[in-house]
Chains A and B, each alone.
Chain A
Amino acid sequence: MTSHPATGGPAAGQKTISRRNLLRLGAGGALGAGLLSGCAMPASSSRLSAQARVRPGQRVNLTFWTWLPVQTVIDQWNRQRPDIQVSLQVIPAGSQGGYQKMYSALRAGNAPDLAHVEYQELPSFMLVQGLTDLSPYGIERYRADYVDWQWQQGVFGNGIYTMPWASGPMAMFYRADLFTEWGISPPATWAEFETAARRVRSRAPGAYLHSFPPSNSAWFEGLAWQAGGEWVKSAGDTWIVDIDNPQTRKVAAYWDRLIRDDLVLVENDGTSAWYKQIQDGQLACYVSADWYDALIEDNAPNTAGKWRTTTMPQWTRGSQAAANWGGSSVAVLQGSRYPTQAMEFAHWFGTNVDTVNATFLLGSGWPALQGAFGTTVLAKKSAFFGHTAYNQAFNVADAHINTNWRFLPTNDAMIDHMNDAFSAAIAGNGSLEKALAQVQSLAIEDMKAKNLKVRAA
């Protein structure tokens, strides 16, 4: 066993290590470990929100990050309020990189004052202390302006962490002309829905009543919400995850049957292939959130005038349970130096009637403003929907949403797990119902990995 001529260490290729090198490695390792363990740094944003003093006549500059092109609305505010100037930055959609941008900015300490945060993402932001508690700044006085369940989405413990903006009440869009052609009336119950689906398949073999998305579980979440299955609750300090509950299993088993009997098209909504089916009249209806009106109009202009809306099918005849898909708020991110001014803007943004009209037309969703249906453009008739006040269905839905619904702090990861499990079940002729248990255990594991107190229901 020869040693290396220069260092006295082992020659190349030898497996043993000299005592000197061992000591070197050991010292380096100990030093490194010491450095790293001393780095118990806070993971939250580098800067906490604190109201800076504003002298009279001083101009306050705020930044607002959103993915909706609301520049005209911002210009309107800036004209009216020279003392609080807001600059807009359009970022990618939240789930397509926008939220990661916000998380990175929070860690770096240069987050914007205001940001567009959807309701399902709020607990995830809370997990990194990314939102400013607005109760010390008097947000309570705005409570009466908003729909209560949307207000509750921002309530965590004793604090209120965001200003509601819009939601996505779900109802049913349907092609009235195709329904007449195939002799079906808009189904009032899910049992009628199944019968109608069968009828469509027999009358028009190339067409389907509806589609089922193998990997768009945020849509499925809305259906479970309607059925009364609450996926997460909290008891004291512990999260209780309950995805595999009887109501959700009922919804999953129902769609299992429809898929197995080839009564629905297995296709993700919002894709090119799906829009092609819509354009060609091979999909006759779509249970969805109100903000899908713009998407259908933009992607199937050839079907103008043929669509109508009505409320979602129900599990029990006569009930009016509805659900929500999506929904946004304007939050004041951690680190803002002007929370009071930011809050004032956020309130105006969500409640000023002209602003609400403008952002609604840009696709922001159903306004969180109390009584919006009577005061805004929501009640107008639309040519695309055959000159009917098509938003009436969503207005009814908005009044019947289960307000106990909460989102997991690892919501995005859970949705991913559900997408994977559902698409695997569909491809392998498995069952959506059985996949729920697996999704629940994966979601619990995710939360345990973040050192949260969690248990199954």
Chain B
Amino acid sequence: MALPRAQRRAAIFLGAPFFVLFAVAFVAPILDALYNSLLKTQHSGYLGLGGSRIVFAGLSNYWLALHEPEFLASYGRVLLFGIVQVPVMIILATVLAFLLEMLSRRWSSFFRATFFLPYGVPGVIASILWGFLYVPGVSPIISLLHDVGISPDFLGYHEVLWSIANIVVWEFTGYNMLIIVAQLKAIPRDLIEAARADGAGTWKTNLHIRLPLIRPALILTVVFSIIGTLQLFNEPQVLITYSPYITSSYTPNIAAYNQAFTDNNVNLASAEAVILAVVAAALSFGFLSLVNRRPR
């Protein structure tokens, strides 16, 4: 549908600030990363300290990244993390959303705000906060558990991944819950009343009417969570100062970050970042096509 000239000009004028910023802050770095991933640095001279040149590397950075066992292991780790943490978080968000439905308006608003509050805390602050709750000697929770005779090690080699999962669930359950609540509110009232008239109790109504109708919200939250899980960075990076068992390639993003900023390998880091983007896209689209299969 073609817009009249004046409206088209207005659209361009009003949209320009966004598109300029989008191009500069989003598109340009992506293109730069793609470009950088195709280059490499070659050293020459005495002990390699005499001179260096940037040369075209083709896909050798990608080959290197895909043959790095630590980088591949980081994918295994975030996938394991995701398989456990995403269902737990989405189920919890759904349960909370349903519970909110059953409350009166006043209490429902109060709890909605309370559950959403952790999302308002920046990820880094949340990680520092939880970090202190995980440190023995500093954490009141651990002292309490000690008094009862339990000595948990939240920052141990096998435990720290799930401690991170705990932080992520705490941060994002409220956010996902809100998306589901919005979808719940969009369910026409007459459907619920018809169900009640037919004699369905709360449990049956939730299971057979509400749950199928919030499917789009569930799909949305799961896709966001898959992408977020693959990009896991803030929480483990902050917890490095508390736990010695978070390695330099704990998650794909941390691996790429360290390649760029510790090892000074911007080219390899760019290749790793591109690989991560491709995997995230593949998994999200894979999931979407899985749930959107048209019945024959």
Partners in one complex: yes
Chain A positions within 8 Å of B, measured between CB atoms, are: 33, 36-37, 39-44, 95, 97, 100, 103, 123-124, 126-129, 156-157, 213-216, 234, 237-239, 266-268, 271-273, 276-277, 280, 409-410, 412-413, 416-417, 419-420, 423-424, 426-428, 446, 449-453
Interface size in chain B (residues, C-beta < 8 A): 42
**Contacting pair A215 B49 (CB below 8 A):** no
**Contacting pair A452 B48 (CB below 8 A):** yes
Nearest neighbor of B264 in chain A, beta-carbon distance:
A103
Residues of the B chain whose Cβ atoms lie less than 8 Å from the Cβ of A446 = 263
A87 to chain B, nearest CB (A): 26
Query: If A129-B52, A416-B262, A446-B263 touch, does A276 touch B247 (CB 8 Å cutoff)?
Result: no
**Contacting pair A413 B263 (CB below 8 A):** yes
30 CB-based A-B contacts, threshold 8 Å: A33-B56, A40-B53, A40-B54, A40-B55, A43-B53, A44-B52, A97-B261, A127-B48, A128-B52, A128-B264, A129-B51, A157-B47, A216-B244, A237-B47, A238-B47, A271-B242, A272-B132, A272-B242, A410-B263, A412-B263, A413-B263, A416-B262, A419-B247, A427-B158, A446-B263, A449-B265, A451-B41, A451-B48, A453-B47, A453-B48
Q: When chains A and B are docked, how far (Å) is the Cα of A271 from the Cα of B70?
A: 26
Residues of the B chain whose Cβ atoms lie less than 8 Å from the Cβ of A238 = 47
Which of the candidate stretches B134-142, B163-171, B272-280 sits at the interface with the other chain? Answer: B134-142
Query: If A123-B49, A239-B47 touch, does A423 touch B245 (CB 8 Å cutoff)?
Result: yes
4 closest Cβ contacts across the A-B interface?
Answer: A427-B157, A214-B244, A452-B48, A416-B248
**Contacting pair B52 A420 (CB below 8 A):** no
Q: When chains A and B are docked, how far (Å) is the Cα of A214 from the Cα of B261?
A: 22
Nearest neighbor of B259 in chain A, beta-carbon distance:
A413
Is B29 in the interface zone, CB < 8 Å from A?
A: no
Query: If A39-B56, A40-B53, A42-B54 touch, does A423 touch B157 (CB 8 Å cutoff)?
Result: yes
**Contacting pair B156 A427 (CB below 8 A):** yes
Is B241 in the interface zone, CB < 8 Å from A?
A: yes
Chain B positions within 8 Å of A, measured between CB atoms, are: 35, 38-39, 41-43, 46-56, 64, 70, 132, 135-138, 156-158, 241-242, 244-245, 247-249, 258, 260-265, 268
A118 to chain B, nearest CB (A): 14
Q: When chains A and B are docked, how far (Å) is the Cα of A267 from the Cα of B41?
A: 38
Query: If A39-B39, A128-B264, A280-B137 touch, does A157 touch B46 (CB 8 Å cutoff)?
Result: yes
Q: When chains A and B are docked, how far (Å) is the Cα of A36 from the Cα of B60?
A: 14
A66 to chain B, nearest CB (A): 19
- Contact partner, A420, options B54, B137, B249, B261, Cβ 8 Å: B249
**Contacting pair B137 A36 (CB below 8 A):** no
Residues of the B chain whose Cβ atoms lie less than 8 Å from the Cβ of A37 = 55-56
Residues of the A chain whose Cβ atoms lie less than 8 Å from the Cβ of B137 = 273, 276-277, 280
Given contacts A129-B49, A420-B247, 7 further A-B contacts (CB under 8 A): A36-B35, A37-B55, A37-B56, A128-B52, A129-B51, A157-B49, A410-B263
Residues of the B chain whose Cβ atoms lie less than 8 Å from the Cβ of A280 = 137
Interface SS of A by simple majority:
mixed
Residues of the B chain whose Cβ atoms lie less than 8 Å from the Cβ of A273 = 135-138, 242
Residues of the A chain whose Cβ atoms lie less than 8 Å from the Cβ of B158 = 427
Q: When chains A and B are docked, how far (Å) is the Cα of A129 from the Cα of B56?
A: 20
Q: When chains A and B are docked, how far (Å) is the Cα of A43 from the Cα of B57?
A: 14
Query: If A42-B54, A423-B247, A450-B43 touch, does A413 touch B48 (CB 8 Å cutoff)?
Result: no
**Contacting pair A452 B54 (CB below 8 A):** no
- Contact partner, B53, options A42, A272, A427, Cβ 8 Å: A42
A436 to chain B, nearest CB (A): 17
Q: When chains A and B are docked, how far (Å) is the Cα of A416 from the Cα of B41?
A: 21
Residues of the A chain whose Cβ atoms lie less than 8 Å from the Cβ of B258 = 416
Q: When chains A and B are docked, how far (Å) is the Cα of A383 from the Cα of B233?
A: 44
A276 to chain B, nearest CB (A): 4
Query: If A156-B49, A273-B137 touch, does A127 touch B43 (CB 8 Å cutoff)?
Result: yes
Residues of the B chain whose Cβ atoms lie less than 8 Å from the Cβ of A416 = 248, 258, 262-263
Residues of the B chain whose Cβ atoms lie less than 8 Å from the Cβ of A412 = 262-263
- Contact partner, B138, options A95, A213, A276, Cβ 8 Å: A276
Residues of the A chain whose Cβ atoms lie less than 8 Å from the Cβ of B135 = 271-273, 276
Among B49, B52, B242, B248, max chain A CB count under 10 A is at B49
Q: When chains A and B are docked, how far (Å) is the Cα of A255 from the Cα of B35?
A: 46
Residues of the B chain whose Cβ atoms lie less than 8 Å from the Cβ of A156 = 47, 49
Q: When chains A and B are docked, how far (Å) is the Cα of A266 from the Cα of B155?
A: 12
Q: When chains A and B are docked, how far (Å) is the Cα of A45 from the Cα of B117?
A: 47
Q: When chains A and B are docked, how far (Å) is the Cα of A43 from the Cα of B51?
A: 8
**Contacting pair A42 B138 (CB below 8 A):** no
- Contact partner, B245, options A36, A239, A427, Cβ 8 Å: A427
**Contacting pair B53 A409 (CB below 8 A):** no
Q: When chains A and B are docked, how far (Å) is the Cα of A92 from the Cα of B92?
A: 40
Residues of the A chain whose Cβ atoms lie less than 8 Å from the Cβ of B43 = 127, 450-452
A372 to chain B, nearest CB (A): 30
Nearest neighbor of A156 in chain B, beta-carbon distance:
B49
Residues of the A chain whose Cβ atoms lie less than 8 Å from the Cβ of B35 = 36
